[in-house]
Homo-oligomer: A and B are copies of this chain.
Amino acid sequence: MLSVTILGNNSAVPAFDRHPTSQVITLDGLNFLVDCGEGTQIQMMKYKIRRSKISHIFISHLHGDHYYGLVGLINTFGLLNHQQDLHVYGPSPLQEIIELQLKVASTTLPFQIYFHTISKNGILADDPKFEVSCFRTNHRIECYGFSFSEKKKPRRIDVEKVKAAGIPASFYKRLEEGLDYTTKDDKLIKNEEVTTETPKGKTYIFCADTKYDESLVPFLRNADMIYHETTYLDNLKEKAEERFHATSKQAATMAKKAKVKKLLIGHFSSKYSELHEFEKEAREIFENTEIACEGVSYKV
């Protein structure tokens, strides 16, 4: 099960009870945090996110609305006696900024932080259950999007059939991988007679801050769900271009070109008190679009 819970859907200046960027990706009981704007820890309390489950934090770039809440969250983890290792991914000098602040407060954390500096596209975390990779977006400063993929699960063994066919337990692992079995008396048992297919793993992509850039389409292609920023409505596309941000229609065009299944939009400018126009404009181009609402979990 892959899902995303939105903690902040606004751009730089908090407004209209909307908060700076942060989301929690939940994958088989693990929680990954993507970006951590100021106040993220308060949003987590509000929406009952289990802080203790967070093992990985991914920071897209070092504009404050994407990471000013990180040092406070780490500090709170320490005060709450969090024990689990914490992996933090982000561009340089994120590690220096966080460590400087922990050092001046003489903070000793009860857990280990591993900083992973991102400097190019590639795989960040590879686990039997999931893979996280990153790709550079087109923003004013170095900025990365993140792709979260569930790995396909092993084929499901039909225990009764396997026993009836006399296949030994030592071969189960290979059955899960899709291999056929040949009995001692040379009878072929086809894999699909004793196992069933499991569903393909899902993919969610957080496309971070970026201007409209079609060279990013290959990174988004065929994803089950993407989050694309829409700082402005279509009538401000020149402003969007100039500030390395995207519009409602541009996000929808990317979703369409990349043939994704669903589009979430967010990172709204604080000039907008109402958001329905964003959804309306995007749906003219890509129907399966939704506003990323704070506190809401979207199943991928």
| Chain A interface residues toward B at CB < 8 A | 12-15, 19, 38-39, 41-42, 45, 62-65, 68-69, 71-72, 75-76, 79-80, 93, 96-97, 100-101, 104-106, 140-141
Contact = CB atoms under 8 A, between A and B. Distances in A.
B39 A104 contact: no
7 contacts: A39-B42, A64-B71, A64-B75, A65-B72, A65-B75, A97-B97, A97-B104
B97 A62 contact: no
A68 B105 CA distance: 12
Contacts of A96: 100
For this chain, the copies found in one complex come to: 2
A64 B105 contact: yes
B13 A62 contact: no
Given A13-B76, A13-B79, A14-B41, 9 more contacts: A19-B42, A64-B72, A64-B101, A64-B105, A68-B68, A68-B75, A68-B101, A100-B100, A105-B141
Contacts of A79: 12-13
Contacts of A15: 45
B64 A68 contact: no
A119 B230 CA distance: 46
A233 to B, nearest CB: 19
Nearest to A76: B13
* Top 10 closest pairs, chain A to chain B, by CB: A38-B72, A62-B104, A39-B39, A68-B72, A64-B75, A63-B105, A13-B79, A13-B76, A14-B42, A12-B79
Contacts of A97: 97, 100-101, 104
A76 B12 contact: yes
Contacts of A13: 76, 79-80
Contacts of A140: 106
B100 A104 contact: no
A137 to B, nearest CB: 16
A10 to B, nearest CB: 11
Highest count of chain B CB atoms <10 Å: which of A72, A79, A93, A106 = A72
Contacts of A101: 62, 64, 68, 97
A140 B104 CA distance: 11
A106 B244 CA distance: 14
A42 B93 CA distance: 27
Highest count of chain B CB atoms <10 Å: which of A15, A41, A64 = A64
A69 B38 contact: yes
A174 to B, nearest CB: 50
A138 to B, nearest CB: 15
A7 to B, nearest CB: 13
A64 B80 CA distance: 15
